[in-house]
Amino acid sequence: MADIILIGCGKAGSIHCKCYTKLKDSNVKIMAMVDSNPDRLKRFHSLYKTFNDGENPLAAGSLEEVSKQMDIGDAIIDLCVPNDVHYQCAKEAVDLGTKKIIIEKPIANSITDAIKIEKLNAKIAITENYVYSKVTEQLRETIEKYHLKPKFVRTEFSKDRRGDTSNGRGFLKTGPPHIFTVEIPHQIAIVNYLFGNPTENFGAWCGDMVLGNKRFYEHGEGAITLHHESGAISYNFSSLDGHKHLPIRHRSVLIHCEGGIRVSAHYPAGGDDALFGAVTVYENNHISEKLAIHDDTMLETLKSIIRRFEENEEQITDAAFGRRIVERISENIHLARIHG
């Protein structure tokens, strides 16, 4: 039995909650829900009970309150709180006796906090869901099956964020989030997992988003080019103006290998009714294999992380994995500004 204490009843908490409901048959159960906003907590708790007949997890305003009513030492703490309080919440959990923590990606907003989290005395896993995606796993299996040697990789995660940007959604005190902090961290997670950690940066650039007479600096599109341990070079591009400036969400990986073989992958567009991706292998510009893949990435992520906790295995996306992504993004924001 895996006991979950869910902290944060916002959008991320809702997504995780739906996954835990699907994992009931695997003896995964939410024991408590925590949120500092009483109204949000009440709504979330009530909705959960409606869809999970017979279950009534503890609802509390803080993890400390939960710890006074139950032993949290063996529970898995799932942090679905804002990125800038990840360290604060993780440290509190450890101080209260927690040994297993799931942190919604990214691990932190700053390198300083990422390093502090990595040093905590607990087993930590980051929900880098594209690493656990069945599409990503099929890419890995295809590379091994055909004994491929990837040379150049192009990833693109683009979406139309123009409406959200006009409404100020996700803005920081300094303005809109940098283009490198929205979709590209997912891409860096994928290429790091498939091709090894980057050994050097080959360049980075970014552009502004322009809407009417308003300019949103470093928020439009950009790319990071990396050289990986395997020898592969990855070019990771993202646009918040939509795919090819159309209101389309697009998530893909294209791998060019020695011998003229290409492997392409498309991830699901998102939403409960769009959980299918595809992997296609091309030899001499002809399709040699094409697979449609059902891919509920967050479900697979939480299932794998919980299994590894229960079986005392090392996590694929541990705190060090998460910290390296934050470091790489920070370095390339600086690099893009120098060369911009």
Say which amino acid occupies 46.
S
Q: What share of the chain is helix, strand, coil (3-state, %, to 5)?
A: 40, 35, 30
In this prediction, residue 77 carries a pLDDT of 98
In this prediction, residue 270 carries a pLDDT of 66
CATH number of 131-296+327-339: 3.30.360.10
Domain with CATH 3.40.50.720 in the chain: 2-128+300-318
Residues linked to residue 233 through DSSP beta bridges, in sequence order:
152, 227
Global pTM?
0.93
User: Tens of pLDDT along 120-150?
Assistant: 999 999 999 999 999 999 999 999 999 999 9
CATH number 2.40.50.320 is the correct assignment for the domain at 2-128+300-318: no
In this prediction, residue 339 carries a pLDDT of 67
Say what the alpha-carbon torsion angle 70, 72, 77, 83 is, to the nearest 10 degrees. Answer: 90
Residues 188, 322 contacting (CB under 8 angstroms): no
Residues in the chain: 340
Tokens, residue 313:
């295995």
Say which amino acid occupies 292.
A
Residues 306, 76 contacting (CB under 8 angstroms): yes
Residues 93, 77 contacting (CB under 8 angstroms): yes
Domain with CATH 3.30.360.10 in the chain: 131-296+327-339
| Residues lower than pLDDT 50 in the chain | none
